[in-house]
């Protein structure tokens, strides 16, 4: 699938954060990676991940957006939505 340059840039940063938080290797993280099924994340892991992402991108995600997150692509799209609000 072809992604925009912005998506690719955000994905790189998100992937690095996910690798740090979950101890995963970069090659294991793709946009379709499921946070829950592939990385065995639970709700506390998601809170920690979102906190790290909010800090990295200087955004504040709302609960509605967070509830819709299940894949890495969802995380990237959420970041892009919140960074483009300015």
Give me the active site residues, please. Answer: 42
22 CB-side CA count, 13 A: 28
Collapse the DSSP code of 71 into the 3-class scheme (helix H, G, I; strand E, B; otherwise coil) and give the result.
Answer: strand
Cβ atoms 14, 35 nearer than 8 A: no
Structure tokens at 61: 């995600």
């Amino acid at each position: 699938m072809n992604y925009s340059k912005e998506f690719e840039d955000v994905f790189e940063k998100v992937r690095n954060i996910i690798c740090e938080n979950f101890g995963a290797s970069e090659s294991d993280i793709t946009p379709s990676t499921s946070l829950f099924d592939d990385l065995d994340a639970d709700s506390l892991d998601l809170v920690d991940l979102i906190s790290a992402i909010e800090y990295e991108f200087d955004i504040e995600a709302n609960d509605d957006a967070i509830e819709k997150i299940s894949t890495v692509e969802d995380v990237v799209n959420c970041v892009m939505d919140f960074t483009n609000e300015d």
